[in-house]
Chains A and B, each alone.
Chain A
Amino acid sequence: MKLAAILVHLNPVAIPGALLILIGLWGILARQNLFKIAVAFSILGTGVNLVILSVGYIRGRTAPILDGEAAVASMTDPVPQALVLTAIVIGLAVTALLLSYAVRLRSGGGGSSIEVHGDEKW
């Protein structure tokens, strides 16, 4: 009963975000394929973005856009939204770089598995 009460009060955007973070970290740690690791980084980034967005969410308030009807007092926090906008673009840049490194490593021979490139470790 108490657990159900806690679950109801959890933020509905933060839970999928946390799940995506866990799935992404699992993919980074447990997968072998370089391209799957790049996808896992992307999933992890999406989860982090969702969690940051949920922190700025205020129950019952609207999007921070002034259009005459919505009062300033009924808007959510715009700062996390602006930060996530930045984070999404940087995440995309990171994904593109990861993928091109993966293409480079694969074209050097040895397939897409990270185990083959063990001598690249420090």
Chain B
Amino acid sequence: MMRRYLVGLILIGLAFALFPLLRQAGVAEAPGPLASAYLENSADDFGAANVVTAIVVSYRGFDTLGEVAVLFAATAGVGTLLTRRRLGKAVPPPGRQGGTEVLETASRLLAGLLIMFGAYIFIHGHLTPGGGFQGGVVVAVALLLGLLAKPDAQVSHRVMTTLESLSGAVYVGLGLLGIVLAGGFLDPRALPLGVVGQLFSAGSIPLIYSMIGLKVGAELSGIIDALKGDRS
């Protein structure tokens, strides 16, 4: 009973603390100096039409490299926690059924389309809303749909590991190319910038974001596979 009152008090206190923030949110007349500089310079600096992508991949490229590393560490952590050696061999629950006819047919039909849509999202990350992380999630959804339809299917770990390490290595390699050919690590000006708004523009940003997309897709597929619970 005491505990319930305490929880209520904490929630009311947090609500009071949040209220001034809510009144201040979105009342600014213009972006701050840093954001304005990003908005004005991203087309000239990197030829990227999507300013958010220019910030994520180039201006703050180190952040994104670290973020991908954190995601990799989390995937490795999930894989380590849920191994057969720690948990013992998992027996699938007795009454487990496969997907229905509708789900199986639809997943066969949609898998290709989903992978194509995910690739579209991460290849066009420098032009439209979206990018490597969003596209990678859509690619992983294709695998999730397939596993829902056929729960006993096995995901090939060798393909996933190869895809993940290869895309990570190419990402770092493109960053190193920036040191050799342009101003520094992860500088997209290593490749020609092209015309703003075209598919082949923004230097190495589309390539880097495609690598991020493949890596995120492979890592999320690994997490889904580990949480599926078949440790055979």
Which A residues fall within an 8 A CB radius of B? 6, 9-11, 13-15, 18, 21-22, 25-26, 29-30, 51, 54-59, 63-68, 72, 75-79, 81-82, 85-86, 88-90, 92-94, 96-97, 99-101, 103-104, 107
Contacts and interface: CB of A to CB of B under 8 A. Distances in A.
Chain B contact residues (Cβ within 8 angstroms of A): what range?
A: 35 or more
A10 B23 contact: yes
B192 to A, nearest CB: 19
Given A65-B128, A75-B51, A78-B55, A22 B82 contact: no
Interface stretch (B25-33, B113-121, B181-189): B25-33
A93 B32 CA distance: 31
A20 B21 CA distance: 15
B5 to A, nearest CB: 12
Given A11-B25, A58-B28, A77-B31, A22 B51 contact: no
Contacts of B35: 56, 77-79
A93 B74 contact: yes
A43 B157 CA distance: 31
Q: Name A's interface SS.
A: helix
B175 to A, nearest CB: 17
Nearest to B74: A93
Nearest first, the 5 closest Cβ-Cβ pairs linking A and B are: A93-B74, A77-B31, A64-B51, A82-B55, A14-B25
Contact of A86 (B14, B63, B77, B223): B63
A66 B56 contact: no
A81 to B, nearest CB: 5
16 contacts: A11-B25, A18-B18, A22-B11, A22-B14, A51-B21, A54-B25, A65-B52, A66-B197, A68-B197, A79-B35, A92-B220, A96-B78, A96-B227, A100-B78, A100-B81, A103-B227
B89 to A, nearest CB: 12
B21 A14 contact: yes
Nearest to A78: B51
